[in-house]
Structure 1
Amino acid sequence: MPITLENVAIAVRDLDATIAFFTDLGLTVIGRDEVSGEWADTAVGLDGNHAKIAMLQTPDGNGRIELFEYIHPDAIETTPTLPNEIGMHRIAFSVDDIDESLAIAAKHGCTPLRGVATYADIYKLTYVRGPSGIIVMLAQELKPAANG
C-alpha cells in the first residue's frame, strides 16, 4: 500500500505571527480557512472544535505545514519542548544560507538554542526556538572545496 506524507500540523498561539516567520524563511501560504462543525469535531476528536488554519508549502512543492490557532476549545499552554522529550520534536529545513536564515529568524525574536554547529563537514546546522515554542532546525549543506 503506497503512502504519502500530506503535511505536518502544528498548533500555534498566534497564527499571523507564525505565518510571518515561516513566509519570511521562504514558505508560501497556499490556503487559509476557519474550520468548525460536526466533521471537524469527528476528525479531530474535540467537541466544539473551531480553529483558524493556514497551509504553507516549501518552494520545491514537496513539504507542507498546516498551522492552526484554536478558537474553541481554548488552547492549552505547555512548556516548550526540549530536544530530548518524547513526542513531536522539531521541523527541519534545508537552507541555502544559514546566516541569512538566522538573521530572518532573529527579526522574529527567534535565536538558536545554543549556536551553529558543523556536522562532519557536511552540514552547518542549528535548532532555533520559533513562534509558539516550535523547534525549527536549519541546515545548510556545505559544498566541498573545488579542486583546481
Structure 2
Amino acid sequence: MKKYPATVGDIEFDKKLDDADFKKCSSEKWRHFSFQYYQGSKQFSYRGEKIAITEKLKKENIYSEKYINGYITVRFLVNCEGKTGLFRVQHMTMDLKDSELDAELENRLLQFTKSLNGWMPKEIKGLKVDYYQYLTYKIENGKVSEVLP
C-alpha cells in the first residue's frame, strides 16, 4: 500500500530530478508539514518583490521560436534558510488543458527559476518553516508576457 503524503500537494523527493543536497529543515513541531506560499506573511517573499524577478527575466531574454500560447508553472519548496529545491514543472494551454508547449522553453524557464536566489525564509508562530512557492509564466506568441502570482 502506498503511503499518502502528509498534505495534499506535497512534493516527494525524486533522485532523478532533485538535488540530494537540498534538505527540508522544518522544526520538530512541523516536521511532516510544509506550508504554502500564502501562509504566514501575506507578502511575496522575494528580495525586491516580484518586480525583481520580472526585471531579471527581461535581461535573460528567454523566449520560444515557436508561436505558442499558454502557461508554464514551476512549483518548488523554499526551506527555512531560503534555499530552493524539489522543482516541478506543469504546462497548460490558454484554456488550461495539459499540453507540452515547448520543451526547450520549459527547461530555460526552469533553469531561470532555479537561479533565483532571493527567496526569504518564513516564520509562523516564531518558527522558521519550509514553504511551497510557484511562479507561473504566461506565454503569448512565444514570449513571457506576465509572471504570476
Identify the structure with the greater strand proportion.
1
For the criterion TM > 0.5, the same-fold answer is: no
**TM-score when scaled to structure 1?**
0.22
**Highest Rg: 1 or 2?**
1
Greater relative CO (CA pairs within 8 A, separation 6+): 2
